[in-house]
Amino acid sequence: FMKLPPTEILLRWMNYHLEKAGYSKKVKNFGGDIKDATAYNYLFAQIAPNTCKRSDETNPKKLAEVVLAEADKIKCKKFVNVKDITIGHKKLNLAFMAHTFNTRPALVVEETIDLSDLADDPSQQLEARTY
């Protein structure tokens, strides 16, 4: 996972949250796929449900304004403006999502793993431990 390019990691993170939010499309890039601001609308409501609300707005420009206002509530409004979203400026939208990921990843470890079984047993022979 960590060998993936940063763009791919952010897309996976975004699509993970969008799927949990019930968004039916898969975002494949930070250009054309987010120009209508709908993915951002779902994303912010998902990662900050107590602060951000999903809008019913259908006009992309107005929805981008709403999305940026919601992002500002959780201190994630950086790098982009309404025009950058609606024209699909790839680099600025990537920076926007990178900042959002770093500020509000909204990831929870679902299961803890007991590593005590993996500890070296001093009674084992070196040869047995190498296999």
- Per-residue pLDDT of 10-37, as tens digits, reads 999 999 999 999 999 999 999 999 999 9
For the cut 70, the answer to whether the pLDDT of residue 81 exceeds it is: yes
Average pLDDT value for residue range 57-83: 96
Percent of the residues in the chain that have a pLDDT greater than 90, as a whole number = 78
Local confidence band at 120 (pLDDT 50, 70, 90 cut-offs): low
102's CB contacts (< 8 A; 6+ apart) are none
Tell me the average pLDDT of the chain: 88
The full DSSP string for 35-58 is TTSHHHHHHHHHH-TTT-------
Which sign does the torsion angle of CA 84, 34, 44, 41 carry?
A: positive
pLDDT at 121 over 60: no
List of residues 6+ apart from 103 with CB closer than 8 A: 74, 75, 76
- Closest C-alpha to 31, from 99, 100, 84: 84
Q: Which of 4-8, 64-68, 117-121 has the lowest mean pLDDT?
A: 117-121
pLDDT at 108: 74
